[in-house]
């Protein structure tokens, strides 16, 4: 998906990269807010808010361990439908792709962190978990900014080569992120 939604690709289709990315952000944040807001509301109905801090700690720690040991999270093995690229307007493509990624569970789930965020939303017992969902959707869509300077096939190849070699660094960054969240929740619990 990242290699498809670049200024180069959108220009080649006669579309605006800026409109596509804006639609993507709106779709991702809105879908994340709806899904995680419903999850928080479900937790409220089930009165799970008493479990929140401890369940959050356990789910984050478990996600970190599973991700670092290479256990793949369950979920679909499909990506967004690239047939949309030539069929729909730029903002529709962006909104649709963004919404699918913002939901978090209808495309490839790259990390156990996705499941941990859902557990946190449900166990919070707060419909305000919609804010967590919006942040989740935004986080999943920020990667598009890395393609903002792709204006030639050479630049696209360089970007893709850079990303293909970045997995070891990404694992360490994810581990640091888990550590920050664990520390933050841990301070809240104690």
User: Rounded to an integer, what distance in angstroms lies between the CA atom of residue 30 and that of residue 24?
Assistant: 10
- Report pLDDT for 190: 62
Element (H, E) at 122: helix 112-124
110, 17 contact by CB (below 8 A): no
pTM value is 0.82
CB neighbour list of residue 144: distance below 8 Å, 6 or more residues apart: 2, 5, 21, 24
- Report pLDDT for 52: 66
- Report pLDDT for 58: 86
- Report pLDDT for 30: 96
- pLDDT (tens, 9 = 90+) of the chain, 190 residues, equals 566 787 888 888 888 888 999 999 999 999 999 999 999 999 889 887 766 677 888 888 899 899 888 899 998 887 777 777 778 888 898 999 899 989 988 888 888 988 988 888 888 888 888 888 898 888 888 888 888 888 788 887 888 878 777 777 777 777 787 787 777 766 765 6
CA max distance for the chain: 55
């Amino acid at each position: 998906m990242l290699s498809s939604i670049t200024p180069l690709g959108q220009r080649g289709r006669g579309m605006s990269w800026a409109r596509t990315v804006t639609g993507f952000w709106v779709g991702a944040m809105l879908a994340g807010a709806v899904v995680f807001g419903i999850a928080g509301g479900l937790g409220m109905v089930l009165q799970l808010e008493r479990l929140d801090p401890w369940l959050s700690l356990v789910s984050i720690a478990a996600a970190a361990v599973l991700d670092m040991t290479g256990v793949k999270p369950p979920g679909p093995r499909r990506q967004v439908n690239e047939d949309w690229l030539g069929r729909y307007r730029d903002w529709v493509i962006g909104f649709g792709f963004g919404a699918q990624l913002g939901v978090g569970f209808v495309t490839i789930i790259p990390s156990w962190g996705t499941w941990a965020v859902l557990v946190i939303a449900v166990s919070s017992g707060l419909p305000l978990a919609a804010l967590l969902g919006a942040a989740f959707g935004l986080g999943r869509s920020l990667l598009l900014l890395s393609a903002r300077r792709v204006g030639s096939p050479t630049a696209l190849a360089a970007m893709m080569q850079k990303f293909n070699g970045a997995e070891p660094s990404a694992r360490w960054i994810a581990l640091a992120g888990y550590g920050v969240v664990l520390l933050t929740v841990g301070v809240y619990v104690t």
